[in-house]
Structure formats: structure tokens, C-alpha cells
Amino acid sequence: MALRKENILLVDDDIDILELLQRHLQSMQYHTYKAVSVKEALYILKDTKIDLLITDIQMPEVDGLKLVKFAGEHYPEMPKLVITGYPSVDGALEVIKSGATDYLTKPFTKEELKQAVQKAFGQERKRNIEKRIADNQKGKGYPEMIGESEAFQKITDIISRVKDNKATILINGESGTGKELVARAIHYSGKFSRSPFVAVNCGAIPENLQESEFFGYVKGAFTGANENRNGFFQAAEGGTLFLDEIGTASLAVQTKLLRALQEKEITRVGSRKPEKVDIRIIAATNQDLLAAIENKKFREDLFYRLTVVEINVPPLRMRKSDIPLLAAMFLKKYGVEYKDRLLGLSPEVMRILERYHWPGNIRELENVIQRAVIMSDGTVDVKDLPENLKYQIEFPEGDLLPLREMEKEYIQRVLVHTKGNKTKAAEILQIDRKTLRDKLK
């Protein structure tokens, strides 16, 4: 197994303790450096990148607490774990006030050491992720969008270019990738943010109602039309109309949408008088609209009107470097909502999240974290994850065999189970010994 990337500095004047710590940590695949004094530790710190400091308190000349204070000011991002053989409440408070992440009392087991080290690295990762989230959101008008990947940066670059104009935009992406978040980011980060943002799921509106829902109707237009009513276009006046699942819009509505885009006007159902509209249209789809055009289910001229600017939102499996930030954001959200406190993720959980292929994308990740928070008793661990995320062994089906061969194979399995005892095998197979003998021949 390859060594982990973390370097751990061990400081203790007791050689036996140093050797024990080194053996334990190397068996956990960590790199280790040893120092028998604070002076030697300082030389190592200055010349080597250290990811975790583990130090004893009681040492000759200079004690470990001074080393912790020094490291706290010169290497503030580095977690510091103190080992003490003299536990007390006052001593523990002094250790934490000195800047230590945690402390471990002698004697300790290998498992206790492992948990303390994982906790120290977990807290460091948590601080780093929170800092990255804060830096990521700083100065942006779309706080719910998180990412550092190249694919994510391309999206935010397009957002910054289109947010202050009313160019028509088509957002492509699989279900659960956050297409509506992109649309909201465009609207709320730009100069039209004070105007309405109206989101419409085209697939949720029955085809026979789509036209009246989009464009409104006049009194008497049809049975039940007892008054004039505005549609989504009127509701979004001056702002943004977001049309999700645009591929499900009926051809009749597509024709009217095309006119609305071309002429900046609409006509209510039951009316002959066109009305001017001033809105930006952002459409989104998880379908292949070019294939729909070939199948005569989507208008080609409307497609080109919608794609003045096209944004392709990548699936989560194509931006896995963003998973730690997204997981931390959801962990904070649901930790506060369900447990009234901030929770952490174990390193094993993060490895599983980064390995999984996420067919449901960001929406699936959010649901997994939400469930894990509910199921956890503290730090989210592997036991809190759904079974489908955990490693699965796929057995090959093998060739289909004739019934006679299958019978032969099963009889052999039973004989192995009974260690060749034909009487017991015949009882399990519910046949007599003579029949078993005949089959064996």
C-alpha cells in the first residue's frame, strides 16, 4: 500500500515512546520524523513540510507547550496533538489554550492514537474546506454555487459575462446538476436582480394548459375563464423567466415562444391584441434537443433562438474535485438544521464520496449527506452511508448450463459439504443412496 502524503513530526525525549509511535503510525501508512528535543524539532520544522505535530509535554530544557505555542504562531494551519502522562482538568485547559488541537493521555492504545490523528487531520481539513468555501463565495452573488474545478470556473466566467444583459440562454445538463442554480446566479448577481425571477417546470404543466399558463388569457376565452389572467410572461416582466425542461413544451407553445423571442411580444389566449414584454428568457434541458429536432418534436428555429449563449453544466463525476466543498456545504446546512451543531466527515467517508460515480449528481450528494446527518451520532462515518455507495463485488453470471450439468455441479457441492458422506448427501438431496450412486456414475 502506498504511503499517505501526510508528514507527522514526533517529539519526545523517551526513545521507547518515539519508536512505539513511529511503528504505529507507519503501520497506518504515514510518513514520520522523530525528534528527542524541542531544539531538534525546530530544525525539522524549518526544513520539512510537516502536516501534524505530536509532542510530549515533559521534556528537559524546553517543554512541549512552548513548542506548541511556537508552532501555533509560525505554522497556524498545522494541527498539534499533545501527549501527556499527567492528565488533569487544568492541564487539559492549558494544553488547549496553548494552541493544541487535542491531547492524548499515556498510556494509550494504537486505536486511540489512530482516532486522535484522524480527528486532528479531520479538523484541519474542515478548517481548510471552510476557508475555501468562504474564498469561493467571496464577492459573488451566487452563494449556493460552490466549486474550484476548471469546469466550474468556466460556468462562473460565463455567468459574469451574461448577468447584466438580457441575451437568451440555454443551459444543458443532466438531472440534478444544478441548472436552476445557474439560472438564479445569472439573475441575482446582475443588475436586474431586483426584478422578478419566475421559474417554470414545463414538464409539470399539462399540454392543454401550457398556452394559457405561459401567456395568460382573457375573460370568456374558454369555459371557466371568468376574468382576465396574467401568465408567466407577464409575471416575469422586467426580470427573468426560467423555462426548465423546455424540451417538453408543446409545438403550439414553441411557436408562440419563438414569436415572443423574435418580436418581444405575446398574445393572450382568446385575444387578438399583442402585448409587448421586456424579459430575459433562460431555458434548461436534460434532453438532446438536436435529436428532438430530427424527430420533429422540437422546432429548429426556436433552438437557435434559445442558444444565443449556451452553458453546459457538467455532471458531478466530471468535477469530483468539487465534492469536498459541496459535501461540507451540505453538512453545515443539515447539521445546523437537524442537530443544532456543525458535524464532520471521517476520511473514509470522503474517500467513498470521491470514488462514487453519482448518477443523480449534486442532488444525490445532497440527499446522501442529509440522510447521513440524520443517521449519525457525531462525526459522519461509513455506517451512516447508504449501502449503494459502498464497495460492491460483481460476480460474473457465467455460461448457462444444461439441467444435467447443473444437477451434477449441485451434487458435487453437497458431497463437499458432507465431506463425502453419501448417506448425509442423499438426505439433503431427498433421494435414496441407490439413486445417488446411479447419478454419480
Digit-coded pLDDT (tens) for 225-267: 888 889 999 999 999 999 999 999 999 899 999 999 999 999 9
Helix/strand/coil for 165 = coil
Query: In this predicted structure, what is the pLDDT of residue 2?
Result: 43
CATH classification at residue 160 = 3.40.50.300
CATH classification at residue 408 = 1.10.10
Based on the fold, state whether residues 113 and 45 are members of the same structural domain: yes
**What is the pTM (predicted TM-score) of this model?**
0.65
**Could you read off the pLDDT tens digit of each residue along the chain, which spans 441 residues?**
344 568 899 998 888 888 989 999 988 888 899 998 888 999 898 888 898 999 988 888 888 888 888 888 788 778 888 887 755 545 555 666 666 777 788 788 888 888 888 877 776 666 666 666 665 555 455 667 888 899 999 999 999 999 999 999 999 999 999 999 999 999 999 999 999 999 999 999 998 889 899 999 988 888 888 888 899 999 999 999 999 999 999 998 999 999 999 999 999 988 888 899 999 999 999 999 999 999 999 999 999 999 999 999 999 999 999 998 899 889 888 988 888 777 878 888 888 999 999 999 999 999 999 999 999 887 888 899 998 888 766 656 666 778 888 888 888 888 888 888 888 888 888 888 888 888 887
Strands 80-84 and 52-56: parallel
Query: In this predicted structure, what is the pLDDT of residue 296?
Result: 93
Please give the tally of structural domains in the chain. Answer: 4
Using the 3D structure, point to which of 290, 313, 336 is the last residue of a domain: 313
Cα–Cα distance, 324 to 351 (Å, whole number): 10
CATH classification at residue 102 = 3.40.50.2300
> Is the distance from CB of 186 to CB of 160 less than 8 angstroms?
no
Task: Decide if 239 is inside a domain.
Answer: yes
Query: In this predicted structure, what is the pLDDT of residue 359?
Result: 93
Query: In this predicted structure, what is the pLDDT of residue 152?
Result: 92
Task: Give the chain's end-to-end CA distance (angstroms, integer).
Answer: 50
Based on the fold, state whether residues 218 and 338 are members of the same structural domain: no
Using the 3D structure, point to which of 262, 282, 313 is the last residue of a domain: 313
Based on the fold, state whether residues 217 and 125 are members of the same structural domain: no
Tell me which residue range forms the domain holding 362: 317-389
Query: In this predicted structure, what is the pLDDT of residue 407?
Result: 86
Alpha carbons within 13 A on the beta-carbon side of 159: 24
Cell of 130: 471552510
Angle of CA points 425, 427, 433, to nearest 5°: 70
Helix/strand/coil for 123 = helix
Query: In this predicted structure, what is the pLDDT of residue 89?
Result: 43
Task: Decide if 240 is inside a domain.
Answer: yes
Q: Give the residue from 18, 294, 124, 24 showing the smallest Cα distance to 132.
A: 124
CATH classification at residue 349 = 1.10.8.60
Cα–Cα distance, 33 to 29 (Å, whole number): 13
Indicate if the alpha-carbon torsion angle 214, 216, 217, 219 is positive or negative. positive
Task: Decide if 233 is inside a domain.
Answer: yes
Task: Decide if 398 is inside a domain.
Answer: no
Based on the fold, state whether residues 321 and 436 are members of the same structural domain: no
Based on the fold, state whether residues 327 and 301 are members of the same structural domain: no
